[in-house]
A and B are shown apart, each in its own frame.
Chain A
Amino acid sequence: MTRRVALVGTSAIPVGRHQTRGDAPLQVMEQEIMTRLVVDAVADAGVEKKDIQSLIFTVPRPYTLQKYFHTFLVSHLRLACTGMVMEVMGNGMTAALAFDQACNEILLGRANVALALGINMEAATPSVEHAMSSMRTTGDIDFQASAGFIPISWYAMDAMRYMHDWGATREQFAAVAVKNRHHASLNPLAQYRTPITLDEVMAQRPIVEPLGLYDVPGRSDGAACLVLASEDVAKTLGRPYAIVRGRGFCHDGSHQINEIPNDMTELIAARQACATAYREAGISAADIDVAEFYAPCTIVEVLVSEAAGFFARGQGAPGAADGQTRLGGRIPISTSGGLTSRGHPAYVTSLYNLIEMHDQLCGRAGQRQVKDARLGLTTGELGNYNAALMHVLEAVR
């Protein structure tokens, strides 16, 4: 029988502001957070230190002074490994790639237990300074950044075009923010937990028109650790787990915009990657019970909900406003609170999404629990969803 991978344990610090300013007399140290998280995740999984043969790290932000953090941390844990120990980088896709690469370690037979883990510290760095770095992560730094393009400006133009093509309204996008804040109010790992109203979202100052403050992510730090195991190991642990049923990746061959004019809000890479993951899992979109999206802005959640096959084109925004993506709705999305409210420590964001998925599929999501959740979809992306990485997981209880 083919080898399969299970997500068997997790740990994380609440998303929030953890980074200390450079001049603070007492500093928050990344290795102190991460060693604790590894110990906690391994205990949560019920595996032992000697079982771990691979660690796939998300690359830290440049503000983390300790370079080669992965090999440094391995020494703090005295983890000798014969599987891979490495850092991965893929912009917003970074954490989804870490998970995917950890799956590969198990599928290749290099490890029976592997960790996907990382820390993202940036929130003490002022936004205008951080933007000097992030403006170089999207678009062309000579021909586009010189005009002032920033990562969320591309999503904003998605929103403007989607409104034009489908008659969507700002209120419909705002409904996504309200819904996600409600979900976050039930999530102890979430950064922004005070419920908000539609009027409050609409009244926020513009950030990138037509998106306002609550349509876009705040500044977040986070750290998390996932424990992956071969199915054989998972079966011996005597507790629920989530099995990886399907994976899909696609890069559409463009960077932000396609120089041959296309339908920019169709997110063809997400569409293709979902189709691949569903096919591998032998399911269709209608079989998915819960979804955790990498969706930095409200508009992105709408577009991915269509690309994933939960809504027809143009129906994602009215569907969200109609409550279909809320807990208790037809297809609950971002039950963690999503990137706008759970928080968005970008390089580890997908680790948090996978933690939420694991909680949902293992029946331990508390007040956020989607009843009888069996199949879940998580998404990762980079650019303007120019590349997408999807995972379908199934509950084994």
Chain B
Amino acid sequence: MTLEIIPVARRRAYPPRVSRFTEPFWSGLAQGRWQSTCCEACDKFTFPPKPICPHCWSDRMQWKDLSPRGTLYSWTRVHAAPRVFTDESPYALCVIDLDIGLRIATRMVEREGIAFENGMPMELVVLRFEDGPLFASRPA
């Protein structure tokens, strides 16, 4: 299952750096693939993807697809943005608890007529900027 890709007619304000290790995440995301690393030794996912498992310190990490669904734990809307984000301001941010028991933080995409409420179901989407992708979430 791939994420919906939403085109955004601009460049990313603060592009992430890419390492040899995280490159599969960002190139996969550009195709709608939502994945992270899962530890073969202790079976736990971690996000962002890491070469060493933070739980058991094993280096047997594998790329696996992540659950694209979760619930909204909390959110905010930022009106006092850093310089590179001022023309996107105000924008919403959130903390999502994914169905697999992993907490992540993302940009939040507004959906007309739907107010944000903690506990509401959420889904991950890809924002396809002119220079590359970012992940975000929106009410499901």
Question: Can you name the residue of chain B whose Cβ is closest to the Cβ of A258?
Answer: B103
A residues bordering B, Cβ < 8 Å? 127-129, 131-132, 134-135, 139-150, 152-153, 156-161, 164, 205-210, 256-262, 264
Task: Give the residues from 66 to 111 in chain B that come closer than 8 angstroms, CB to CB, to chain A.
Answer: 73-86, 88, 90-91, 93-95, 97, 101-107
- Interface residue? B10 (CB, 8 A): no
| CB pair B82 A146 closer than 8 Å | no
Chain B residues, CB < 8 A from A149: 93, 105
Chain A residues, CB < 8 A from B102: 259-261
- Complex partner residue of A128 from B12, B17, B82, CB under 8 angstroms: B82
Alpha-carbon separation in the docked complex, A260 to B102 (Å): 5
Alpha-carbon separation in the docked complex, A210 to B79 (Å): 11
| CB pair B73 A264 closer than 8 Å | yes
Most buried by A among B84, B85, B88: B85
Q: Considering only CB atoms and an 8 Å cut-off, how many residues of chain B contact the other chain?
A: 44
Q: Chain B: interface secondary structure?
A: mixed
Alpha-carbon separation in the docked complex, A397 to B79 (Å): 48
Chain A residues, CB < 8 A from B106: 147
- Complex partner residue of B80 from A132, A145, A146, A208, CB under 8 angstroms: A208
- Complex partner residue of B74 from A131, A157, A207, CB under 8 angstroms: A157
Question: Can you name the residue of chain A whose Cβ is closest to the Cβ of B22?
Answer: A142
- Complex partner residue of B78 from A132, A208, A256, CB under 8 angstroms: A208
Question: Can you name the residue of chain A whose Cβ is closest to the Cβ of B73?
Answer: A161
11 contacts between A and B (CB under 8 A): A132-B82, A147-B105, A148-B88, A157-B75, A161-B74, A164-B119, A206-B77, A207-B80, A257-B105, A259-B104, A261-B97
User: Could you tell me the distance in whole angstroms from the C-beta of B130 to the nearest C-beta in chain A?
Assistant: 15
| CB pair A257 B95 closer than 8 Å | yes
| CB pair B83 A132 closer than 8 Å | yes
User: Could you tell me the distance in whole angstroms from the C-beta of B66 to the nearest C-beta in chain A?
Assistant: 12
